Amino acid sequence: MSNNWEMVIGLEVHAQLKTSSKLFSSSPNKFGSEPNENVNFIDSGMPGMLPVMNFGCIEMAIKTGYALNFKINKHSVFERKNYFYPDLPQGYQISQFEFPILSEGYINIESGDNQKKIRIERAHLEQDAGKSIHDIDPKYSFIDLNRVGTPLLEIVSYPDLSSADEVINYMSSLRQLLMYIDVCDGNMQEGSLRADVNLSVRKKGQELGTRCEIKNLNSFKFIKQAIEYEFQRQINIIDGGGEIEQNTMLFDTSTGETRAMRSKEFSHDYRYFPDPDLLPVNLTQEQIDKIKPLVGELPQDKLNKYLDNYNLDKDIAKIIIAEKQNANLFEKMISESTVKPKFIAAWLVGDIFAFIKENNLEVNSLNDKTKDITDLLILISDDVISNKAGKEILPKVLNGEGKPSELVKELGLEQVSDFGELEKIIDGALLGEEENILKFQGGSDRVLGYFVGKCLKATKGKGNPKLINKILLERLKK
């Protein structure tokens, strides 16, 4: 029984930075190229080649520092982490060890109905390694060095997480923040964001147990599965009278199980030492301050603004801030029109997102359609067309088939809002309905619906329902 057991989890998240070139070479930093296309002499570890730091990576680290409430260190040092592997051409990875660029940060995540503060021990810059491909040939392995030297920010949390759900919330909050400040594309499938999970178990209230590290998880689903499996595995060992060995584990995505890759006894001695090819990074306060305005509004700031200034419902606001591009689209529409934010928000998370999902689009792709969208929303809110007609026109507007006002005319969807005309139609519809009129006056509200329907039908659906309602009530009360 796992009832009185709890898990203690710390996360090491590797975020690939969105720079145009690599951390220490001018090769392009991009995914999806032909194997070994983005490799220069530095990346391939040729004799005599030297690293030159890409300052863009430092700026992104500083931005992250602000977003995750870190202490931004003026002095940091790149060191060499020495180990042999064919996808590590230099024979060492350049990383920060004793003096990371960021230390002691935190973020707040949701845990059940509460907020929980997750402390982050440090974040440091390092090079990514290449990829070894073992499944092309039965005898040989293949090496793709495109990823070699890609800048990574490794974000190391304290063991403050205590459930798979918290871990997922933490990861998705991190992902959201990193995407907001534009330092990481957050694409977990492509490996832009990966996590190593350190997990131990203990009986509630007892000392920390021995931890195992599950390496390289690149989807929320796998993280959750791996944690749940590993939690149970450790409990089973202890319940069976065994002891946990401090192991590095791999998660097998096909079986959903974790298995030991190497034990602590065989763990590497990385022989870290300061890289003599690079000078220490020494930042001035001015250099750090200069980055602050580039951080921009963070999700929490936006959430507060949407709730307080725009009166959005929390659920809707959260959907919009989930991704920066949603918020950008939303705020663009607010700034370009006089339509009420709440009205825009309802259409955005409703029909507009549905359209995006149906057509497999990027939210960004609608950025040049915002004027048309808000024009349409104005037609709806001004009662020029009905809500229903709006829903009919929206896809056409988003597909670029025409301007909203033209489409309304073309499709003859303009509402009849002429008072006199509607009066005539209503009077006609009330003829011979004396019995129902009496019923209404006797207190039967249901009859009103019947009359509205009848009148709408008489206008072929184009009558302005609000006006019809208003006139009807006047007539009926007489």
Partner 1 sequence: MKNSISQIKKDLIEKKISVSELYDEYLAKAKSGNNNSFNLVIDRENNISSINESQNRYDSGNPLLLDGIPLGIKDLFCTKGIRTTASSKILSNFIPNYESFVTQQLLNDGSIFIGKNNCDEFAMGSSNETSYFGPVINPWKNKNSQKDNLVPGGSSGGSAAAVAEGSCVASMGTDTGGSIRQPASLCGIVGLKPTFGSCSRWGIVAFASSLDQAGPLTNCVEDAAYILNSINKHDFNDSTSSNHQREDYLIDINNSLQKKIKIGIPSDYLEDVSDEILNQIDNTKKALSKHGIEFVDVEFKTTEYALSTYYILAPAEASSNLARYDGVRYGVREDGESLDDIYLNSRTKGFGDEVTRRILIGAYVLSAGYYDAYYRQAQKVRRLIKNDFQRILNEVDFILTPTTPNEAFKIGDKLDPISMYKNDIYTVPTSLAGLPGISIPSGLSKNGLPLGVQFIGNYFEEKTLLQLAALAEKELSFNE
Residues that bind partner 1 (CB under 8 A): 41, 44-53, 80, 82, 84, 86, 89-92, 141, 143, 269, 271-273, 275-279
| Residue pair 208/214 in contact by the 8 Å Cβ criterion | no
- Quick one: 277 or 421, whose CB is closer to partner 1? 277
Residue 235 CA from chain centroid, whole number: 33
Query: Residue 270 Cβ, how far from partner 1 at the closest point, in Å?
Result: 9
Query: Residue 218 Cβ, how far from partner 1 at the closest point, in Å?
Result: 25
Query: Residue 252 Cβ, how far from partner 1 at the closest point, in Å?
Result: 22
- Quick one: 273 or 355, whose CB is closer to partner 1? 273
| Residue pair 307/299 in contact by the 8 Å Cβ criterion | no
CA distance 326 to 57: 26
Residue indicated by tokens 């920390």: 208
- Quick one: 98 or 418, whose CB is closer to partner 1? 98
Tally of CB atoms within 10 A around 124: 24
Residue indicated by tokens 């000078």: 279
- Quick one: 47 or 432, whose CB is closer to partner 1? 47
CA distance 74 to 18: 22
CA distance 324 to 169: 17
Query: Residue 271 Cβ, how far from partner 1 at the closest point, in Å?
Result: 4
Query: Residue 139 Cβ, how far from partner 1 at the closest point, in Å?
Result: 11
- Quick one: 86 or 350, whose CB is closer to partner 1? 86
- Quick one: 139 or 478, whose CB is closer to partner 1? 139
- Quick one: 98 or 336, whose CB is closer to partner 1? 98
Strand 247-252 with 212-217, pairing: parallel
Query: Residue 61 Cβ, how far from partner 1 at the closest point, in Å?
Result: 18
The DSSP 8-state label assigned to residue 463 in this structure reads B
Write the CB contacts of 31 (distance below 8 Å, at least 6 apart in sequence). Answer: 187, 190, 191, 192
Residue 316 CA from chain centroid, whole number: 15
Q: What is the DSSP string of 334-383?
A: HHH--S-HHHHHHHIIIIIHHHHHHTT--GGGGGGGHHHHHHHHHHHHTT
CA distance 224 to 230: 10
Closest CA to 100 of 125, 133, 132, 118: 125
Q: In DSSP terms, which residues pair with 11 in a beta bridge? A: 197
Which SS3 state, helix, strand or coil, does residue 330 take?
helix
CA distance 298 to 291: 15
Query: Residue 92 Cβ, how far from partner 1 at the closest point, in Å?
Result: 5
Q: In DSSP terms, which residues pair with 103 in a beta bridge? A: 71, 122
| Residue pair 98/302 in contact by the 8 Å Cβ criterion | no
Q: What is the DSSP string of 172-215?
A: HHHHHHHHHTTS----TTTTSEEEEEEEEEEETTS-----EEEE
Residue indicated by tokens 């592997």: 85
Phi/psi of residue 425, each to 5°? -60, -40
- Quick one: 118 or 143, whose CB is closer to partner 1? 143
- Quick one: 81 or 124, whose CB is closer to partner 1? 81
Residue 195 CA from chain centroid, whole number: 16
- Quick one: 46 or 208, whose CB is closer to partner 1? 46
- Quick one: 277 or 289, whose CB is closer to partner 1? 277
